[in-house]
Structure 1
Amino acid sequence: MIKPCWFWMKRRTTAKGASKSRAEAVKAWEKCWKDLSQSQIQAWIERIPFHIQEIIRIEGGNDYKEGRPKQFKKGKKKDIQQNEDDEWEEISSTVVSIGVG
């Protein structure tokens, strides 16, 4: 989950150009961290089941494409949340059946 946070913060801390000094950079990053909303963090967390399913679907291969799935783009989450419990149960069963964990 660190990756989306890193890019989100980097975009915001460098939007007006890179910091001129270490102190300026630290101040910008600390402000950005403070401004990071719980709803943004929750949005990243809610994407985790999708990424797990994709990795399982491609059997851990190198075909995995990072980034948001189409359902999540522009804040539109179609039916991802609707069957969250069933999805987690399916993922858990798959993980157990392939011997992960």
Structure 2
Amino acid sequence: MVSSTFLVGCSHRSSHPLAGAQILNDSEIAGEKIFMQNCQRCHPQGAAGLGPSILWAPGFAKRFQVRHGVGAMPAFDKDHLSEKELDQLMEYLKALKNN
């Protein structure tokens, strides 16, 4: 019973960018692209999916999670995401949270 509930809860996959009237700046747009390539699959729209929601965490916790990975989440080191790309990703996540 629990596993079927879990599967139903995780079966909805969204691959849409931010919706609505919000206008993103260039850095947030770059962060959106990084998010869609690396994060969307497990955190659709930043919400829970295969992984938990990432919108609630403070910025420093998100940065740590991305760089070091915890649990099933892989680490994205500087060879995968530069510091600039990580900054852009964090800006997008902030915009996503405020949407």
Q: Report the TM-score, using the length of structure 1 for normalisation.
A: 0.28
Higher relative contact order (CA 8 A, sep 6+): 2
Larger Rg: 1
Q: Which has the higher helix share?
A: 1
Q: Report the TM-score, using the length of structure 2 for normalisation.
A: 0.28
